[in-house]
Each structure stands twice: as C-alpha cells, then as structure tokens.
Amino acid sequence: MNAYLHIWKNTFSKAEEQLTKKLLPLEIVWRNVMLFVYLHAAAVYGLYLLVFHAQLYTVIWTYVLCIVSGMGITAGAHRLWAHKTYRAHVGLRFFLMLANTIAFQNDIYEWSRDHRVHHKYSETNADPHNAKRGFFFCHMGWLLTRKHPDVLSKGRSVDMSDLLADPVIRFQKAFYLPLVLLMCFLVPMFVPKFLWNESLEISFFVCSLARYCFILHTTWLVNSAAHLWGDHPYDRSINPAENQMVSICTLGEGQHNYHHTFPWDYAASEWGWKTNITTIFIDIWAKLGIAYELKKVPREIIEKRRKFKGDGSTPWYDEASAPEHLRWRSASIVSSVARDFNRLLFIHRTAQVHLNEVRNMPLFGRDSKKKKDSDKVPSVDDKYTLKEVLGTGAFSQVVLAESKEAKGTLRAIKCIDKKALKGKEDSLENEIKVLHRLKHSNIVQLVETYEEKTKVYLVMELVTGGELFDRIVEKGSYTEKDASDLIRQVLEAVDYMHEQGVVHRDLKPENLLYYSPDEDSKIMISDFGLSKMEDSGIMATACGTPGYVAPEVLAQKPYGKAVDVWSIGVISYILLCGYPPFYDENDANLFAQILKGEFEFDSPYWDEISESAKDFIRHLMCVDADKRYSCKQAISGNTASDKNIHSSVSEQLRKNFAKTKWRQAYNATAIIRKMRLLAMNSTSCSMDQPPEKQLTENASISQSSRDGATGDSSSSSKNS
C-alpha cells in the first residue's frame, strides 16, 4: 500500500504545482526570431515566384511535397508514433520517416515526446504551446521563446521507450541533420532543376523555403485555431474544438475535440474520410495489409460521450445524424450558405430540446409548479429517525437511521449535499441506476432514495461485519478453503452483475465487507461509484484502483467484463499469501508489471498452497482478456485444500494492509479532488502519455468524481 500512497501523493504534488504556478514572463530567443523573419521573407518571395514565374511542373511538385511532408506529420509522427493508433510494416514506417524529415519539425522522437506532454498537460504551463497564452504564442510564438521549466521537466518524465525500440526512429534520430539537409532542401530543389530545367532560384525559394514555411503554418493551426475556435460535440469541458478549416488545411486533423476525447482512434474523427485525407491514406495501406491493427472507438461509446459530455452541437462532418433536408450537398454558394444556416438552426433546436429534458429530470431537475402543488413528496424525516453520524466524506455524511414504520430496523443513510455535487450529477445517477438494477444477497442494497431542496439521501442496507482483511487477521484459523469460499461468494455476485449488464470496475478488498459479526457471515460487495451499465460489454474509460486494475485498461484498449475477473484474481492472490502480486515504489514500474502480467508464487509463502489454487489464479490473471476465465468458469474451477495458512497470511496482511495504511490511502483522495479541473484537460482518456502514467491520473480523477458524488468511500464502507 505504500506504493499506492506514494503514487497518489506524487500525483497530487504535480497537480498542485500546475494549479498554483502563474504564467512566467516570456524570454525571447532572438536567434530564432531572426531565422523566422528571414524564412518568412524568403517564403513571400517564393510565393511571388510561384505565381508569376514557376513552371506548371514546379507547382505540381511543390503540391506533392506539401502532401507527402504533411503525411509524415499526420499519419507518421502524430497517429502512428505519438498515439500508437495503428501499426505499420517497416517499409511504410521508413517512408513516413522520410516524409516527416521533409517537413523538418524536429525528429519524430522529439515531436512525439512534446506531443504526448501536450496531451497530458494540455493548456497548462507544461504544455509546449499553451493556448491560454493567446493565438500568436500557441501558433508560433512558442518557438520564439524559451521553454517553460515545466515543459522541460514533464518532457523528461515521459516514457519514450516504445519509440526507441523502433529501428526506424533510431536511424532518423542518429542522422537527423544530414537527412534534413538532403530531404527538406536539396532533393526538393534539384529535382525541378534536373528533370524539367527549372531555375535554381525558383526551385530553392518555391520548393524548399515557401513550401517549408507553408507546412509549418498549417501544422501550427492545430495548436492554435483548433484550440481556440469551433464546437465541442464530444467534450464541452476542454478547449480543443471541431474546426472545418483546420481539418482541410491539415489533411484531416481539425476534428480536435474528438481527437482529445479519443486520442487512440486512428481516424482522429468519428466519420470516415470527409476532409480527412490522412484517414484515406491509412485505409489504403490497411487494405494492402501494410498498415494493420487500426484502433477505432466503438460507435455506442461515442454516442454516449456526445450525449453526456458534449455541448449539444452536431459535428459538421456528420451527415447520418441530421434529417435528410439538412444533409450536406454539392450545391451553389447560395444553397451552401442556406444549408449551413439550417444546420445551425437544427443544432439550436436540438440543444433546446436536450436542455428541456435536463430541466425536467426527476433527480436534480426542477419539478414543475403543477407537480409541486399536486402532491408533496415524503421526506426522509417522515420515514426515518436519524441517529449518530457514522462517517463523513468530502460532500456527504453517512448516518445511522431507524425506520419509523418498522421499529428496530436500522439503515445507513448517505446524505449528499446537492450544491457540492453540482456538475457530478451523472455519476450519482449512474450509481443509483446500477443499485436499483442489482438485487443479490451478496451486494449491499439500495433500499430507497429521497430528494430535498438541498440534499439527496441514499438509504442503504446496514452492514456491520467489518472489512475483509480485519476479520481474517482476527480469525483463529484460516485455510485455503476459507479463502476459496470467500472468492466463490464474490464470483457468484459478480457473475450475477455481469448477467445484468453491470461491470463494477473497482473491485478491491476494502469494497468487500462482512454482513454481520457472525462467524459464518456472508461477504458483501459495496461501492458502485465507478460501476457501469454496459449491456454491449464494451467500455473505454480508464478508471480503477492502482494494483487491481486490468492490463487492458492500462493499455487504453476497449475492455469488458473481464476487468472484474482480473481484480478478483488479485484479491485471491492476496487472500492466499497476504501481499499483493504487483508492487513497486515507482508507479511506472508497477504498471509495467501489470501490463506484462509479471507475478510470482514466492517461497515460503506459497509452499503450502495447492497447485490447483495457483492455476486458478493464473487463469484469473491472464493478460489476454479473451483467454481469461469468465466468472462461471472460475466458479466451476475453484477448488482448495484444508491446510491452515492463518499464521503466514495474517502476518503479511498486518504488514501490508494495516487499517491505518488503508485509511491514509483513502484520505489521500480528498487531496486529489483538487486535481480534477487540471486533470480533465489531460484525460480524457487521453492517451498521449504512456498508459501506465495516464492510468494513475485517470484513476485519481475517477476516484475524485466518485467521492464527489457519494462521499468518501472509506467512511461509508467502514461504518455501513
């Protein structure tokens, strides 16, 4: 647990640093200023030569160079290497490397490193081209000034080992300057001279300098215009936007709100090829088998994200979702303007409909005056006598209550402050829907809910048996079979959840409670703050608790119900030996272990454990989710011996999972809440930093969101 606490403290300190630092005065690098002045003066002269003196072949050659070098940035450095959205044969990788060299915007290694930092720390001091400094700075001013210290420090923290493992990247990095001289300046200049006898002056100023300057500015539009102007149909909480003009100029990189929401999508947009030449390029190579493993976000996930996080606007490239009379057509300028006006009117009306739906929601929404006058909704005080406070969270209290109708019936009521909950309503709505759907003897039940003007009350089943590990330590005898019985109960409950289309996504020991103090008490699953009703079985949001999260979540792949089985495997491992299968003080190393599935059955702690139990754990913690046991398979394969392992297990539990350590770890979540505003700009599930680093941040965000909706889990679980 020290490792987890270390991760959370580390993450908080970084976030606090970002939150408190002010923008430092810019220090101009005059050498760069002079170079850019010369470059732009030469580019203007080159544009004059292009229009009035260049041969047609030279114009075509310049256009081809622009497209090829642009692909080196968009299909190469951006989508292939920075985001790993697809894989490519070495021949295609080498071509994209050369194309990227023609563009001359730093080698792919440095470009990808800065881009990953940009996504992880978007629009903070650590962002190389922070859009909050204004258009000129994020467009080109960032190249004329010294980098902010945060840019340098965060850049050094990014894991780039995946790129260094590519021999093509190593080759470019080793010979970058001679490659740039050859590919960016000499080849573009001498091809027109020797093939159609163009003058060297025109070749140099048009094909080399003017073309190079043009590519720089089109690329910079993604940093500037796409972060400042446009709609936000996928995530209204971030600045990157959908910008049609940027998409046209940058070969398809203008769907920037989508890209920052789903950065692992190879198309960088929701809809196919429209103004997205880079996607056409990748698809062609994919059909030839040279590009493969193209990652695409499932449509249902996109629709849900648009519904709950978008600003209500319709992406300008979305024909399918608009009525027939509003769809895009090839027409005259007049009809095109009319079409755009109609689309804006359609978007406005749609937004009004959604706004009215939100206002009329039964929970958090305002009831109509007619409804208020017709009948009064009973309050929690009408049915329960509230007694002492059992626990306190950031935005809620857990109170012991006795039913007035059935004397002696005790409940745990979570009292949530609606004012503090503002902006997190969806999280609580989701948890309530999940709990209403689940009715199982091993799941803590939601009895009923109440809403008042300032508070929401969740009346929960009272659980008094204490936490799982505390009871094991207190036992006089504890065998492998006891652990097996505990896991069987958890598996049966989770199997039921999966049949109901619910994935818990945060199974861990402190969410497993004993129903009563009785020796034969059943085990109960609690805390559904991160659970998801997903009948399709496909999810993409990175969330969970470090140490228990499945490798496919860390790898930012779409995942399903198998993530719960992995977590049960980790819990099973701990129940049999008393320490976690994955441990490291360094978060990157910890997540690397999980991604590889590296765990051992160490002697002497596992010497007394049966081979069938070890094999059972191997099947639960299989890195390949398709080969991992389902809950039903795990239930049938759960066998155990009667050997007493209490001494070794309890000793390790005391050492590794002392109650005070759990409390410290959970108290850390209260601090992490301060990160939410900052972290939202980089999450999005964002995957521009290494997956192991992003998961720590996303897990913190998810935990923060959950606590904001339901109160501190530690307090609630402990006392309910």
Q: What pLDDT sits at residue 718?
A: 34
Name the pLDDT band for 704 (thresholds 50, 70, 90): very low
**Could you give the C-alpha distances from 114 to 242, 266, 683, in angstroms and in order?**
22, 19, 17
| Percent of the chain predicted with pLDDT > 70 | 74
Q: Do 422 and 494 have their domain in common?
A: no
Does the pLDDT of residue 160 top 90, yes or no? Answer: no
Here the tokens at position 254 are 């203008």
Q: What pLDDT sits at residue 82?
A: 92
On average, the pLDDT of the chain sits at: 77
In angstroms, the CA 684 to CA 258 distance is 10
Here the tokens at position 609 are 């454990």
Beta bridge partners of 455: 417
Number of domains making up the chain:
3
Query: Is 705 inside a domain boundary?
Result: no
Q: Is 99 left (phi over 0), alpha (psi -120 to 50) or beta?
A: alpha
Q: Do 413 and 492 have their domain in common?
A: no
In angstroms, the CA 629 to CA 619 distance is 6
Query: Is 538 inside a domain boundary?
Result: no
Q: What is the domain-level CATH number for residue 638? A: 1.10.510.10
In angstroms, the CA 138 to CA 130 distance is 6
Q: Do 192 and 68 have their domain in common?
A: yes
- Give the residue, 712 or 409, on which the prediction is more confident: 409
pLDDT tens per residue, range 569-610? 999 998 888 888 988 877 778 888 889 888 888 888 888 888
Q: Has 414 been labeled as part of a binding site?
A: yes
Name the pLDDT band for 662 (thresholds 50, 70, 90): very low
Q: Do 174 and 97 have their domain in common?
A: yes
* From 107, 265, 506, 712, active-site residue: 506
Q: Do 626 and 652 have their domain in common?
A: yes
Q: Do 259 and 171 have their domain in common?
A: yes
Query: Is 7 inside a domain boundary?
Result: no
Q: Do 166 and 133 have their domain in common?
A: yes
Q: What pLDDT sits at residue 688?
A: 38
Q: What is the domain-level CATH number for residue 394? A: 3.30.200.20
CB 505 within 8 A of CB 703: no
In the residue annotation, 426 being an active-site residue is answered as no
| Percent of the chain predicted with pLDDT > 90 | 24
146 HSE (CA, 13 A, CB side): 9
Mean pLDDT, rounded, for 432-458: 88
In angstroms, the CA 531 to CA 533 distance is 7
What is the span of the domain harbouring residue 145?
27-320
Q: What angle do CA 71, 76, 80 make, to 5 degrees?
A: 140
In angstroms, the CA 47 to CA 53 distance is 10
Mean pLDDT, rounded, for 2-31: 54
Mean pLDDT, rounded, for 215-238: 87
Cβ neighbours for 311, distance < 8 A, ≥ 6 positions apart:
231, 232, 233, 236, 351
Question: 271, 303, 320: which is the final residue of a domain?
Answer: 320
Q: Do 506 and 424 have their domain in common?
A: no
Q: What pLDDT sits at residue 685?
A: 36
Question: 293, 320, 347: which is the final residue of a domain?
Answer: 320
Query: Is 371 inside a domain boundary?
Result: no
In angstroms, the CA 298 to CA 629 distance is 24
Q: Tell me which amino acid residue 83 is.
A: H
Report the side by side order of strands in the sheet with 396-403.
Answer: 384-392, 396-403, 410-417, 455-461, 446-451
Question: 320, 342, 363: which is the final residue of a domain?
Answer: 320
Query: Is 372 inside a domain boundary?
Result: no
- Give the residue, 332 or 605, on which the prediction is more confident: 605
Q: For CA atoms 454, 456, 462, 465, give the dihedral sign.
A: negative
Mean pLDDT, rounded, for 290-308: 85
Q: Do 314 and 390 have their domain in common?
A: no
Q: Do 250 and 170 have their domain in common?
A: yes
pLDDT tens per residue, range 349-365? 555 555 555 545 554 44
State the DSSP string of 457-486: EEEEE---S-BHHHHHHH-S--BHHHHHHH
Q: Tell me which amino acid residue 578 is.
A: G
Does the pLDDT of residue 374 top 70, yes or no? Answer: no
In angstroms, the CA 628 to CA 360 distance is 44
Q: Label residue 362 exposed, middle or buried (CB < 10 Å: 0-12, 13-18, 19+).
A: exposed
Query: Is 512 inside a domain boundary?
Result: yes
- Give the residue, 713 or 493, on which the prediction is more confident: 493
Q: Do 573 and 554 have their domain in common?
A: yes
H or E segment to which residue 455 belongs: strand 455-461
Rg (CA), the chain: 29
In angstroms, the CA 588 to CA 26 distance is 33
Q: Do 519 and 597 have their domain in common?
A: yes
Answer yes or no: pTM beyond 0.75: no
